Chains A and B, each alone.
Chain A
């Protein structure tokens, strides 16, 4: 099944699921955000990162420990 970028499907359904109300202007803002963010989010989700173990509690003040 192809992923959908359609904000018209996703946003009203998500808002209803969370019980969050939105007016027309807010919906327009969310549609804009969705068009910007959703395609790269889908690309990120499609990446095979199974070989990458995220650093547990990374110390961001320092370089990562050597692999």
Chain B
């Protein structure tokens, strides 16, 4: 058997179920690997070996029996309140049984650590956190992506084979692409959400899996969904592409890799590529940002804003205060834009099965200055990334980021989006794409992990 820690999530689960792998030994090895590799990437901000051993001792015979996983600092655990990557999250966090925790526990999984995240979930980069930034295993001087920075870095560095993130505006898909993983943003409402401090308020946030490939996302996703995500073979896939900035104002290597991947997917499924129109996209992107920010205002008072924890970053403090100034009329119009975008997508998905475009327009930027160079000029990574990430959160549709290439030694991701409830199709399409490129990109190993394998 290969090094058990390097096995895919599903193979770890199968080996444990078959009695070929001891779950206790796997847990110990996982904790040891976190201890050895994590200092370089700061992906896992807390471990709790005794709690993990208790979970293992009580683990039922579920689909993830004995398998170690990491969960984002966005979800409370019975023994630990979430911190949301921040010294001050406005809400008062408390320990508890979140939906993802229950789903993992009931599946027999063992939570071995909490994954770092961008402060307040407020960026696609992951370069600011109360714990210090997580770092990208492909290059520790580059951003791991956010806001699910730690879960992504933990899986990419093979600390664990699967992690649970959350996606309010691309926060699973951005780090998935920066770290060379597959990340699924489920259809709104389909995955476990209970216990999140914004549950019942947010109309954009969902939990979802970050794993090396689509097969593992299918397994971890099934646990989070509470239903088996069936696999199917994709034939005659109708792939929609769009001719605007989201696919054209893109760094040339990213554009080339994504165009090649779309062609590979078309060929692998004997499908076709069709150009679609989404004129609402720019306004829909702004609408997503306005809705997501206004939904977090419920716990804001001027007095509270005057008494923010001084350890909160200046960026976090400034943005929290700026949210108060967003005009109500713009939020109302944003809801109208949401309706328009949903109606347009319903029409589009009668013509195509998936929409494909680059998950983000450039590879992971430097941690110290998260700027990206695009044909239109220099942009902050956030303003560039949100163009492609927001639509799925605004409208509720599922989306997946799949690794499809590399530039500057850093991964490139293609995003596929499908109609409401067609999460399984996205996993099927991602697997077809993996097969089309001989699994080259999902099996690529970052230098951090490769060096240790060579030494071993």
Question: Which A residues have a C-beta under 8 Å from some C-beta of B?
Answer: 10-11, 14-15, 18-23, 25-30, 32-34, 36-37, 40-41, 43-45, 47, 49, 52-55, 58-64, 66-67
Cα distance, A67 to B333, chains bound together (Å): 19
Q: Are A64 and B318 in contact (CB under 8 A)?
A: no
A63 touches B419 (CB 8 A): yes
How far apart sit A8 and B306, CA to CA, in the bound complex (Å)? 20
Q: Which one of B322, B326, B420 has the highest number of Cβ atoms from chain A below 10 Å of its Cβ?
A: B322
On whether the beta carbons of A29 and B319 are closer than 8 Å, the reply is yes
Partner of A20, one of B305, B315, B342: B305
Complex CA–CA separation, A66 to B350 (angstroms): 13
Q: Are B329 and A45 in contact (CB under 8 A)?
A: yes
**Residues from chain B with Cβ under 8 Å of A27 in the complex:** 318
* Contact (A29, B315) CB under 8 Å given A34-B322, A60-B189: yes
Interface contacts beyond A33-B318, A44-B330, A54-B338: sample of 7 additional A-B pairs, CB < 8 Å, sorted by A? A19-B302, A40-B282, A41-B326, A44-B334, A62-B420, A63-B419, A64-B343
**Cα of A25 to Cα of B338 in the assembled complex, Å:** 34
B339 and A41 contact, CB distance less than 8 A: no
Please, which residue of chain B has its CB at the minimum distance from the CB of A19?
A: B302
- Alpha-carbon distance between A10 and B321 when the two chains are bound, in angstroms: 13
CA distance A59 to B339 in the complex (A): 11
1/0 contact trace for B311-336 toward A, CB 8 Å? Answer: 00011011101101111011011111
Once A55-B339, A63-B419 are accepted as A-B contacts, the answer to whether A25 and B314 lie under 8 Å apart by CB is yes
Known: A20-B306, A61-B188. A41 touches B324 (CB 8 A): no
- What residues on B are CB-neighbors of A18 within 8 Å? 302, 305, 324
CB-CB < 8 A to B286: which residues of A?
37, 40-41, 44
Contact present for B321 and A30 (CB under 8 Å): yes
Report how many residues on chain B are interfacial, defined by Cβ distance under 8 Å: 47
Interface contact A15-B321, CB-CB below 8 Å: yes
**Using Cβ atoms and an 8 Å threshold, which residues of chain B touch A10?**
325
Across the A-B interface, how many residue pairs have beta carbons closer than 8 Å? 123
| Residues of chain B with a CB closer than 8 A to A32's CB | 318
Asked if B333 and A26 sit within 8 Å, CB to CB, the answer is: no
Question: Is B396 among interface residues, defined by CB-CB distance under 8 A?
Answer: yes
The answer on a CB contact under 8 Å between B346 and A63 is: yes
- B residues with CB within 8 A of A: 187-190, 203, 282-283, 286-287, 289-290, 302, 305-306, 314-315, 317-319, 321-322, 324-327, 329-330, 332-340, 342-343, 345-346, 349, 383, 395-396, 419-421
Q: Which residue of chain A has its CB nearest to the CB of B314?
A: A25
Query: Which of B187, B337, B345, B346 is in CB contact (< 8 Å) with A44?
Result: B337
Contacting residue for B342 out of A26, A34, A45, A55, CB 8 A: A55
Closest to A63 in B: B346
Q: Are A36 and B383 in contact (CB under 8 A)?
A: yes
B307 — nearest CB in chain A belongs to which residue?
A: A21
Which A-chain residue is minimally distant from B305 (CB atoms)? A20
CB pair A52 B340 closer than 8 Å:
yes
Would you call A60 and B335 a contact (CB within 8 A)?
no
CA distance A55 to B395 in the complex (A): 11
Provide the residues of chain B in CB contact with A21, threshold 8 Å: 306
Give the residues in chain A near B338, CB-CB below 8 Å. Answer: 54-55, 58
Of all chain A residues, which has the CB nearest B306? Answer: A21
Min CB distance A64 to B, Å, is: 5
CA distance A46 to B17 in the complex (A): 60
A64 in contact with B189 (CB, 8 Å): no
Distance in angstroms from B187 CB to nearest chain A CB is 6
**A45 touching B189, Cβ below 8 Å:** no
Of chain A, the residue at the smallest CB distance from B282 is A40
Q: List 5 A-B contacts (CB under 8 A).
A: A11-B322, A29-B317, A40-B283, A40-B286, A58-B396
- Decide yes or no: A29 and B324 within 8 Å by CB, A44-B283, A62-B421, A64-B343 being known contacts: no
Q: Which of B317, B326, B333, B383 contacts A49 (CB 8 A)?
A: B333
B289 touches A37 (CB 8 A): yes
Bound complex: CA of A36 vs CA of B318, how far in Å?
A: 14
Residues of B within 8 A of A41 (CB): 286, 290, 326-327, 330
